[in-house]
Chains A and B, each alone.
Chain A
Amino acid sequence: QLQLQESGSGLVKPSQTLSLTCAVSGGSISSGGYSWSWIRQPPGKGLEWIGYIYHSGSTYYNPSLKSRVTISVDRSKNQFSLKLSSVTAADTAVYYCASGVTRFSLFDYWGQGTLVTVSS
């Protein structure tokens, strides 16, 4: 069973870049048939898909965030990462990493989430 764990800075200044990592255990990030996603949830609000990456390295992003987002994979560490540039207070949220196994565009396994606050 896959397990995912987010890590990274919990406080980011406006205009800077948010960086998070998701460590994967119980499976290989290089295995075919999986997608590796980032999803966020502002406090008290709903879910927003940020983007995902396949084992092949192909990436797909939410069109509304595409200009600011980069998702990448580090196979040597069995982890994947999120970078979100030029952040504002509107980017304050709990950020989840997740994996699609049943379908690439579903989220079968989730990390516990990490709160990122954008503030000076």
Chain B
Amino acid sequence: EIVMTQSPATLSVSPGERATLSCRASQSVSSNLAWYQQKPGQAPRLLIYGASTRATGIPARFSGSGSGTEFTLTISSLQSEDFAVYYCQQYNNWPPALTFGGGTKVEIK
């Protein structure tokens, strides 16, 4: 099983500031990495796939980078609606054995 490790567990950021979230895979997943946003009481929402491609309707302030085992999600200027928990997910295996990271909570500083 590919283990996904996210850091930090909690990130305190002021509105308008940049947030940088990290995700590390226990072995290479190439660029088969996605990011999801989850707000309290809601289902997750797909933000990024292919490590850096924004999903339909996702604002340009969200960007992803990385390949192999190290990945980053950057939110360039945090808006009030961006405070949430963010999960990374790898989809590199075949047959699929999809795994998520433990999540990073982005909270208001």
Which secondary structure dominates where chain A touches chain B?
loop
Interface size on A, residues (CB 8 A): 22
Within 8 Å CB of A80, what residues of B? none
In the complex, what's the smallest C-beta–C-beta distance from A118 to chain B, in angstroms?
21
Does A106 contact B49, Cβ atoms closer than 8 Å?
Answer: yes
A111 touches B (CB below 8 Å): yes
Give CA–CA (A61, B91) in the complex, Å: 13
Within 8 Å CB of A108, what residues of B? 46, 55
Does B96 contact A110, Cβ atoms closer than 8 Å?
Answer: no
From B1, B46, B87, B97, contact of A46 by CB (8 A): B87
Q: Which of B60-68, B69-77, B99-107 contacts A (4 or more CB under 8 A)?
A: B99-107
Does B100 contact A48, Cβ atoms closer than 8 Å?
Answer: yes
From B34, B87, B101, B102, contact of A106 by CB (8 A): B34
Does B44 contact A110, Cβ atoms closer than 8 Å?
Answer: yes
Query: How many residue pairs between the two chains, A and B, have CB atoms under 8 Å in the bound complex?
Result: 55
Does B87 contact A47, Cβ atoms closer than 8 Å?
Answer: yes
B108 touches A (CB below 8 Å): no
Within 8 Å CB of A62, what residues of B? 97-98
Indicate the member of B43, B87, B99 with the most A CB atoms within 10 Å.
B43
Closest 4 CB pairs of A and B: A105-B91, A110-B43, A49-B98, A47-B100
- Give residues in A with beta carbon < 8 Å to B: 46-49, 52, 60, 62-64, 96, 98, 102-108, 110-113
Known contacts A46-B100, A106-B34, then 9 further A-B pairs from the complex at CB < 8 Å, ordered by chain A residue: A47-B89, A60-B95, A60-B96, A62-B98, A102-B55, A106-B89, A106-B91, A107-B46, A108-B55
